[in-house]
């Protein structure tokens, strides 16, 4: 392309352009030399007029990496005007690189041949407008964003509101639950406080019980092996108030001979395998007072899940007195054993439920057995002489029913076939419901005594029998003499002889008594049963006795027509004995009342006097052989009348008993079963 110098006409044009307020520059050549620049553009560039004639790179080096030179070259090459609004350009103005925005144009200036020979650059600084628009757009965008955010927030708000409503509902239900929980909590709190009260009450009770039981309490902390206790225990151990001491110091108080054993027991209890229980007895010596005390320690160790002892506590009981009593008891038991052995007393305990008996060797010996032999109640009954089996059972049953000791004497047949007599006593014991559980007692071999008794009885029988013959003759002679004296009207002799007759009768009665007893003892008494009217028999006996005791007034309340089947003589003997006792133990002239009546299936006879009476403690023993009330020793007698009466009544399956008060009199009753 051919360079064409600026012409004068161009110069004029340039002057016009220089005046233009639009920023204008003209570039030419491929280096983009600034051929023209008016003040407006130079001001925009932030340069001065020296830029004219320089290439654009020299004048505005900051445009080096910007597209302007390329746009210029394109316009030069194509001749097509380039126009752009809001085109950014970085320019160094006031020494600072800044970005400005321009609406600008690169217009190709062509010659007549249509060739581009320069480019006119017009530019308007629209930085303010651009930034304004941009700010507006930015604001709009921000507003848009805000709106979107707002919408999103709104949605969120709605969702939140919904959630809030749901939460509110939940909150309400939670509140309800909470108030229900609160109520439960209140209830639980009430319960806890009631439990606390109960706990306190229990604790008070426990402390009271501990105190009442005179117990010491102790607590061992296994982690540090320190030992503490209540006041009583500290006193016993000679410790100061609130003093906690190491275990080994506490065990020093234990007597040396016990110490090792106690330590071993503690160690064992704290071993998880042992179950933690501790129960041992030992003696402690109070280091302050020097007083020894025998104690029983009981306790329990608690373990954690690893089997480690975490606590070990318990009680201490002062058993000094108990131990002393035990020793004394043991001594007296040994003494008793010795005495029993010396007296050949056998002891037994019979379990009433099982019939099992535990008995001493002597007890078995009394039944002809050795210590090794099995001996239960059934075995015992087996050896009882058959006639006495029922009697033995009856004695045991009676003792149980009447809650009293029983005494039974009976023959037993030893395994070698010999007969031996035993006396067995027993006392029933009862459980809390009043049921008899066992009978405990002793046995004694009375064979020898029994033989002596028999010999004595035989002797009494023999003597009585021998006495009876001369007495009968005596009675005969007296009666003959009495007859003669009456005939010759010798009243004195008759009177004396009738007194002799009375005395002979009394003697006869006594001898009869002895004879009866000897017969009874040797089992020679036999009942001769016959039917008779009771009141008739009593009337006959009264007649006989009125002769013997003429000064007493006998009143008889009859029971007409009451028939009995019994041994008439022996029942007559019983009535006679009761009447003669009533007369013997009451003042003359006093009244003796005799009643007979039918009560249910029994006939009851009562003999009442208003005599000296009998002390209560003698009532049960009156019917024993030879028993006499001590205070009556001045009144003669042998103590066999009531014994015989009781034996006779018992053999009739009747009962005999007494009601009496000292100084007021006595009533003897007996009953007999009716047909
Ligand atoms: P005894 O021959 O001694 O009278 P008993 O066996 O008939 O013998 O009586 C035993 C004891 O009972 C008497 O010694 C007497 O102490 C007392 N006894 C019996 N009957 C009466 C009675 N009616 N009043 C007072 N004591 C009596």
- Residues having CB closer than 6 A to ligand 1 are 577, 581-582, 585, 609, 611-612, 614, 622, 627-629, 632, 637-643, 666
The percentage of the chain sitting over the pLDDT mark of 70, rounded to a whole number, equals 97
Residues 309-331 pLDDT 10s: 998 999 999 999 888 999 999 99
Q: Which residues are within 8 A (CB) of 315 and not within 5 positions of it... i.e. 6 or more apart?
A: 210, 215, 216, 217, 218, 297, 298, 299
List all residues 6 or more positions away from 412 whose beta carbon is below 8 Å from its beta carbon.
Answer: 366, 367, 368, 383, 384, 385, 419, 420, 421, 422
Task: Please tell me the residue having the least CA distance from ligand 1 atom 13.
Answer: 628
Atom nearest to 609 CA in ligand 1? 23
- Structure confidence by residue, pLDDT tens digits, 329-348: 999 989 888 888 888 899 99
CB atoms < 10 A from the CB of 485, how many?
A: 18
**CA–CA dist 621, 487 (Å, integer):** 50
For residue 629, the ligand 1 atom closest to its alpha carbon is 16
What atom of ligand 1 comes closest to residue 577's alpha carbon? 7
Residue 164 CB neighbour total at 10 angstroms: 12
Nearest partner of 36 among 25, 45, 47, 48, judged by Cα: 25
Alpha carbons 37 and 50: distance in angstroms, whole number: 10
Distance in Å, CA 641 to ligand 1 centroid: 8
Question: What is the pLDDT confidence band of residue 242, given thresholds at 50, 70 and 90?
Answer: low
Task: Give the residue, by CA position, lying nearest to ligand 1 atom 21.
Answer: 581
The DSSP bridge pattern shows strands 215-221 and 563-566 to be: unpaired
Are 582 and 592 spatial neighbours (Cβ–Cβ below 8 Å)?
yes
**Tokens 């373990």 identify what position?**
303
Backbone dihedral angles phi then psi of residue 614, each to the nearest 5 degrees = -130, 130
Distance from residue 446's CA to the centre of ligand 1 (Å): 28
For ligand 1, the distance from its centroid to the CA atom of residue 613, given in whole angstroms, is 10
Q: Report how far residue 439's alpha carbon sits from residue 388's, in angstroms, rounded to the nearest whole number.
A: 19
> Which of 574, 620, 632, 646 for mutating ligand 1's site (highest number of atoms within 8 Å of CB)?
632
Q: Give the single-character DSSP code of 239.
A: P
Contact 116, 110 (CB under 8 A): yes
Q: Identify the weakest region by mean pLDDT among 20-29, 241-250, 287-296, 340-349.
A: 241-250
Query: What pLDDT does residue 509 have?
Result: 84
* 655-661 β-sheet, strand order: 553-557, 591-599, 602-609, 665-673, 655-661
What integer pLDDT is reported at residue 3 of this predicted model? Answer: 47
Rounded distance, CA 583 to CA 547, Å? 12
Q: Residues 314-346, buried b or exposed e (16+ Cβ, 10 A)?
A: bbbbbbeeebeeeeeeeeeeeeeeeebeeeebb
Q: What distance in angstroms lies between residue 399's CA and the mean position of ligand 1's atoms?
A: 26
* DSSP codes of every residue in 152-195: HHHHHHHHHHHHHHHHHHHHHHHHHHHHHHHHHHHHHHHHHHHH
Tokens 């179950």 belong to: 275
Residues 6+ apart with CB under 8 A from 30: 73, 76
> How far apart are alpha carbons 310 and 641 in whole angstroms?
80
Does 7 have pLDDT greater than 60?
A: no
Count how many residues are written for the chain.
675
Cα(635) to centroid(ligand 1), Å? 9
Q: How far apart are CA 72 and CA 55, in angstroms?
A: 12
**Predicted confidence band of residue 10 (pLDDT cuts 50, 70, 90):** low
Q: Is 536 helix (H, G, I), strand (E, B) or coil?
A: helix
Residue 563 C-alpha to ligand 1 middle, in angstroms?
A: 29
Top mutation candidate among 520, 585, 656 for ligand 1, by most atoms within 8 Å of CB: 585
Per-residue pLDDT for 456 more than 90?
Answer: no
| Burial class of residue 229 (count of CB atoms within 10 Å of its CB; 0-12, 13-18, 19+) | buried
Q: What is the largest CA-CA distance in the chain?
A: 235
- Residue-level pLDDT at 516: 84
Site to probe by mutation for ligand 1, drawn from 637, 656, 669 as the one with most ligand atoms within 8 Å of Cβ, is 637
Q: Cα separation of 516 and 647, whole Å?
A: 11
Residue 648 CA to ligand 1 centre (angstroms): 17
- What is the Å distance from ligand 1's center to 643 Cα? 10
Please identify, by atom number, the ligand 1 atom nearest to the C-alpha of residue 644: 6
**pLDDT value of position 238:** 82
Q: pLDDT tens digits, residue range 34-69?
A: 988 988 899 888 889 898 999 999 999 998 899 999
* Cα dist from 115 to 32, 77, 375, whole Å: 16, 9, 159
**pLDDT, tens digit, 9 for 90 and up, residues 615-667:** 999 998 999 988 999 887 778 888 989 999 999 999 999 999 999 999 999 99
Q: Which two tokens stand for residue 528?
A: 């001769």
Cα separation, 596 vs 545, in Å, equals: 17
Closest residue to atom 18 of ligand 1, CA basis = 581
Residue 110 has a CB neighbour count (10 Å cut-off) of 12
State how far the alpha carbon of 546 is from the alpha carbons of 502, 552, 579, in Å: 11, 8, 10
Which residues are CB-contacts of 447 (< 8 A; sequence separation ≥ 6)? 419, 420, 421
Nearest CA to ligand 1 atom 7: 641
Pocket probe mutation, ligand 1, options 642, 665, 668, 670, max atoms within 8 Å of Cβ = 642
Ligand 1: centre distance to CA 622 (Å): 7
Tokens describing residue 139: 């604001």
Between CA 548 and CA 517 the distance in angstroms is 23
Atom of ligand 1 nearest to the CA of 513: 2
pLDDT of residue 12 exceeding 80, the answer is: no
Probe target for ligand 1 pocket from 639, 657, 660, 669, with the most ligand atoms within 8 Å of CB: 639
CA of 589 to the centre of ligand 1 (A): 19
Residue the block writes with tokens 């003759």: 473
Over residues 296-300, the mean pLDDT reads 93
pLDDT at residue 243 above 80? no
**Mean predicted confidence (pLDDT) in 96-115:** 89
pLDDT of residue 440: 94
SS3 at position 1: coil
Q: Would you state the pLDDT for residue 634?
A: 79
d(CA 216, CA 132): 100
pLDDT tens, residue by residue, 404-429: 999 899 999 999 999 999 999 999 99
pLDDT confidence of 113, banded at 50, 70, 90?
confident
CB of 585 closer than 8 Å to CB of 632: yes
Round the CA-based radius of gyration of the chain to a whole number and report it. Answer: 70
State the distance from the centre of ligand 1 to the C-alpha of 584, rounded, in angstroms.
8
d(CA 512, CA 504): 12
Q: Cα(632) to centroid of ligand 1, in Å?
A: 8
pLDDT greater at residue 230 or residue 671:
671
- The pLDDT value given to residue 6: 44
Q: Which atom of ligand 1 is nearest to the CA of 639?
A: 8
- Count of alpha carbons within 13 Å of 45, Cβ hemisphere only? 26
User: Packing angle between helix 491-521 and helix 447-487, nearest 10 degrees?
Assistant: 160
CA angle 393, 396, 398 (to 5 degrees): 105
* Model confidence pLDDT, tens digit, residues 149-183: 878 878 887 887 888 788 788 878 878 887 888 88
Q: At what angle do helices 641-651 and 491-521 cross, to 10 degrees?
A: 50
Tokens 């210029």 belong to 72
Q: What is the model's pLDDT at position 151?
A: 82
Please tell me which residue, 414 or 185, carries the higher pLDDT value.
Answer: 414
pLDDT, tens only, 469-512: 899 999 999 999 999 999 999 999 999 999 999 889 888 888 98
Q: Taking residues 4-23, report their average pLDDT.
A: 67
For 236-249, what is the mean pLDDT? 78
Ligand 1 centre distance from Cα of residue 185 (Å): 84
Render pLDDT for 115-141 as a digit per residue (tens, 0 to 9).
888 999 999 888 888 888 888 888 888
Query: Any idea of the CA torsion for 40, 46, 47, 51, to the nearest 10 degrees?
Result: -70
Where does the pLDDT of residue 606 fall: very low under 50, low under 70, confident under 90, or very high at 90 and above?
very high
What would the two tokens of residue 520 be?
């009874």
pLDDT for the residue 9: 64
Cα separation, 369 vs 348, whole angstroms: 14
């Amino acid at each position: 392309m051919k360079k064409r110098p600026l012409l004068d006409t161009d110069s004029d044009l340039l002057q016009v352009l220089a005046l233009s307020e639009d920023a204008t520059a003209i570039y030419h050549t491929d280096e983009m030399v600034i051929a023209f620049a008016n003040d407006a553009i130079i001001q925009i560039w932030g340069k001065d007029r020296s830029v004219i004639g320089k290439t654009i790179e020299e004048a505005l080096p900051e445009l080096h990496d910007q597209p302007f030179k390329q746009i210029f070259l394109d316009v030069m090459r194509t001749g097509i005007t380039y126009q752009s609004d809001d085109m950014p350009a970085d320019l160094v103005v006031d020494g600072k690189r800044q970005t400005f925005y321009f609406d600008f144009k690169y217009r190709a200036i062509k010659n007549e041949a249509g060739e581009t020979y320069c480019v006119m650059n017009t530019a308007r600084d629209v930085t303010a407008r651009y930034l304004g628009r941009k700010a507006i757009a930015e604001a709009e965008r921000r507003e848009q964003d805000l709106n979107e955010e707002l919408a999103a927030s709104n949605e969120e708000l709605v969702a939140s509101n919904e959630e809030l409503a749901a939460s509110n509902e939940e909150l309400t239900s939670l509140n309800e639950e909470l108030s229900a929980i609160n109520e439960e909590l209140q209830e639980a709190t009430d319960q806890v406080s009631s439990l606390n009260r109960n706990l306190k009450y229990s604790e008070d009770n426990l402390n009271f019980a501990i105190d009442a039981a005179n117990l010491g309490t102790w607590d061992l902390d296994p982690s540090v092996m320190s030992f503490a206790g209540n006041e009583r225990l500290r006193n016993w151990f000679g410790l100061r108030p609130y003093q906690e001491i190491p275990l080994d110091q506490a065990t020093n108080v234990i007597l040396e001979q016990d110490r090792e054993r106690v330590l071993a027991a503690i160690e064992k209890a704290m071993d998880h395998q042992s179950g933690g229980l501790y129960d041992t007895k030992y003696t402690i010596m109070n280091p302050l007072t020097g007083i020894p005390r025998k104690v029983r320690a009981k306790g329990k160790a608690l373990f954690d899940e690893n089997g480690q002892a975490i606590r070990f506590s318990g009680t201490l009981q002062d058993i000094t007195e108990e131990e002393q009593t035990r020793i004394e008891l043991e001594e007296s038991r040994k003494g008793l054993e010795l005495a029993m052995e010396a007296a050949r007393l056998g002891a037994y305990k019979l379990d009433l439920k099982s019939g099992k008996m535990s008995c001493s060797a002597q007890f078995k010996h009394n039944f002809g057995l050795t210590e090794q032999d099995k001996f239960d109640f059934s075995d015992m009954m087996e050896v009882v002489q058959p006639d006495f089996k029922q009697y033995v059972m009856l004695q045991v049953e009676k003792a149980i029913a009447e809650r009293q000791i029983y005494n039974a004497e009976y023959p037993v047949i030893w395994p070698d076939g010999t007969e031996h007599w035993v006396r067995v006593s027993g006392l029933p014991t009862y459980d809390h419901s009043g049921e008899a559980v066992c009978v405990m007692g002793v046995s004694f071999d009375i064979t020898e005594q029994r033989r002596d008794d028999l010999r004595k009885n035989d002797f009494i029988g023999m003597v009585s029998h021998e006495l009876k013959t001369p007495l009968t003759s005596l009675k005969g002679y007296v009666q003959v003499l009495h007859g003669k004296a009456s005939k010759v009207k010798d009243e004195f002799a008759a009177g004396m002889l009738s007194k002799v007759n009375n005395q002979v009768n009394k003697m006869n009665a006594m001898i009869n008594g002895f004879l009866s007893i000897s017969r009874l003892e040797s089992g020679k008494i036999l009942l001769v049963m016959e039917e008779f009217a009771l009141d008739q028999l009593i009337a006959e006996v009264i007649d006989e006795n009125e002769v013997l005791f003429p000064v007493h007034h006998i009143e008889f309340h009859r029971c007409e027509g009451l028939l009995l089947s019994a041994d008439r003589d022996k029942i007559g003997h019983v009535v006679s004995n009761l009447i003669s006792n009533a007369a013997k133990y009451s003042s003359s002239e006093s009244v003796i009342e005799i009643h007979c009546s039918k009560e249910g299936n029994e006939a009851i006879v009562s003999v009442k006097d208003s005599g000296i009476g009998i002390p209560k403690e003698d009532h049960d023993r009156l019917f024993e052989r030879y028993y006499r009330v001590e205070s009556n020793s001045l009144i003669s007698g042998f103590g066999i009348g009531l014994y015989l009466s009781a034996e006779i009544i018992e053999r009739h399956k009747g009962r005999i008993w007494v009601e009496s008060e000292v100084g007021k009199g006595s009533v003897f009753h007996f009953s007999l079963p009716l047909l």
